[in-house]
């Protein structure tokens, strides 16, 4: 199913089709674009409040990988994906509309997923199936929320992003020795979810997919107490959205960072996502929905690893 997802391969700088289930899968489709490869890409970025200059975009290449200081591990890629692609069309029409509105309306966003109760959060389904197992009535498809996926080359599986997550499931992934973990934001009013899995093709790569928008500030700090790092990091960021606690202007993104855009449906706007490998943090937020507070996320290992140019200590 979501096997043929096209992603940007930072290592080769070429687009490739992944046979593995990166969870992001759902959109195996057609709309895959490499970030920075077109105006559209930059538009996408700008939707997140990342203002990249054309030159900057061009500068960022696969080989411009971000060296994550901490873990020494890695590279950071972003995959922006929207809720779904054309594959889920019919219903999606409705769902997408809902999502779209959700994107523009915070209250909707949170309520939309609440609908089925918070447990059945209504969203997800990275796959075209847009499963809606929850208590939604039959015939009603779960509303998909904006999703954002990114790949991080890291040895750390559990990256901190400033939010608190509760793991609610783990599944073996087809064709992959690595399981996929499902997390939900612990904030009862927040329906954001995230999936974390390792690439079967490259075990050093962790794929994190965020879905939904946070309707609150980064509450908690990582259990591990990376607060220091985050706080410090955040202090240098410029929040454009009141709801976003951390904002990482693309313009300040280390040029080594490679971003990948994954298709996005016309109705969705991804919100945020980031991941860091072993140690890093990045946050994005959608300017498209200033109100949607979807702070992005981050990733943690050590926020300090990914630091805006000029802020790096190493």
Partner DNA sequence: CGGCTTTGACCAGCGC
Partner DNA sequence: GCGCTGGTCAAAGCCG
8, 27, 48, 166, 238 from 248: Cα distances, Å = 21, 26, 10, 25, 7
Q: Which is closer to DNA, CB of 205 or CB of 307?
A: 205
According to CB under 7 A, which one of 45, 69, 76, 88 is a site residue for DNA? Answer: 88
Does 151 sit near DNA (CB under 7 A)?
no
269 vs 15: CA distance, rounded Å? 22
278 vs 281: CA distance, rounded Å? 10
How is residue 183 annotated by DSSP?
A: E
Does 146 sit near DNA (CB under 7 A)?
no
According to CB under 7 A, which one of 6, 193, 229, 267 is a site residue for DNA? Answer: 193
Gyration radius from the chain CA atoms = 17
Q: Which region, judged by CB under 7 A, interacts with DNA, from 162-170, 250-258, 264-272, 284-292?
A: 162-170
How is residue 170 annotated by DSSP?
A: E
Binders in 195-254 for DNA, by CB under 7 A = 195
Report whether 303 contacts 225 (CB < 8 A). no
CB of 264 to DNA, least distance (A): 16
Burial of 86 (0-12, 13-18, 19+ CB in 10 A): middle
Does 189 sit near DNA (CB under 7 A)?
no
Q: Which is closer to DNA, CB of 40 or CB of 174?
A: 174
Q: Which is closer to DNA, CB of 59 or CB of 166?
A: 166
Residues that bind DNA (CB under 7 A): 1-2, 21, 23, 26, 87-88, 116-117, 119-121, 123-134, 138, 141, 164-174, 180-183, 186, 193, 195
């Amino acid at each position: 199913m979501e096997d043929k997802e096209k992603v940007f391969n930072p290592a080769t700088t070429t687009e490739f089709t992944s046979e593995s289930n990166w969870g992001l899968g759902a959109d195996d489709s057609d709309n895959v674009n490499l970030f920075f490869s077109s105006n559209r890409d930059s538009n996408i970025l700008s939707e997140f409040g990342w203002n990249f200059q054309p030159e900057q975009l061009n500068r960022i290449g696969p080989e411009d990988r971000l060296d994550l200081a901490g873990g020494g591990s890695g590279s950071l890629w972003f995959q922006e994906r929207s809720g779904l692609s054309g594959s889920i069309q019919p219903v999606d029409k409705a769902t997408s509309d809902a999502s779209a509105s959700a994107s523009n309306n915070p209250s909707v966003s949170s309520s939309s997923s609440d609908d089925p109760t918070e447990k059945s959060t209504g969203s997800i389904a990275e796959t075209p199936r847009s499963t809606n197992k929850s208590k939604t009535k039959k015939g009603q498809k779960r509303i998909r929320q904006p999703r954002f996926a990114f790949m991080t080359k890291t040895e750390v599986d559990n990256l901190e992003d400033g939010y608190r997550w509760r793991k609610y499931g783990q599944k073996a992934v087809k064709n992959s020795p690595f399981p996929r973990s499902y997390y939900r934001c612990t904030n009862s009013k927040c329906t954001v979810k995230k999936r974390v899995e390792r690439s079967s093709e490259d075990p050093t790569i962790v794929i994190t997919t965020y879905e939904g928008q946070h309707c609150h500030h980064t509450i908690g700090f990582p259990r591990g107490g990376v607060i220091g790092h985050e706080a410090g990091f955040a202090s240098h960021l410029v929040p454009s959205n009141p709801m976003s606690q951390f904002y990482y202007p693309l313009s300040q993104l280390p040029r080594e960072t490679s971003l990948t855009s994954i298709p996005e449906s016309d109705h969705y706007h991804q919100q945020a996502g980031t991941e860091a490998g072993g140690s890093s943090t990045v946050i994005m937020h959608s300017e498209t929905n200033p109100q949607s507070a979807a702070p992005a996320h981050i990733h943690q290992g050590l926020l300090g690893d990914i630091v805006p140019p000029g802020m790096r200590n190493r």
